[in-house]
Amino acid sequence: MKTRMRADLRTAMKDGRGGDARLIRSLIAAIDNAEAPPARASSGAAEQHRFLSGSAEVERLLLDAERVRAILLAEIEEREQVTAEMDRLDRPDRADAIRAEARLAASYLSRS
């Protein structure tokens, strides 16, 4: 999924679709954040690592398709809530833009 998103990001940037590029970057970041392993309780902020030793490298979590789908659904739901708020505030231009973001995010669900 992230490979497809990164390819779509490059295309959006080449085509000058800044809004789409921002959204895709945001979706990739949400998935990247979920892949981050939890911090170890015993490690302090000042833990020393030898340069280029690889001791600071931590393996990312592997997310299954269902977890990635849940992340995308949460991103879509968040945008739908913002859209409702923009409608309530009588900001149809902003609501339409966010609605378009939700549709683009939803397109990744149908392609998975």
Q: For the segment 42-92, what is each residue's pLDDT rounded down to a tens digit?
A: 555 556 666 666 666 678 889 999 999 999 999 999 999 999 999 999 999
Q: Provide CATH code, domain 2-36+59-111.
A: 1.10.1510
Tell me, what's the pLDDT at 41?
Answer: 60
So where are the chain's domains? Answer: 2-36+59-111
pTM, two decimals, is 0.82
Lowest pLDDT segment from 4-13, 14-23, 29-38, 75-84: 29-38
> Contact at 8 Å (CB) between 68 and 31?
yes
Strand, coil or helix: 14: helix
Instruction: Spell out the alpha helix ranges (H) of 1-112.
Output: 2-14, 18-35, 65-88, 92-111
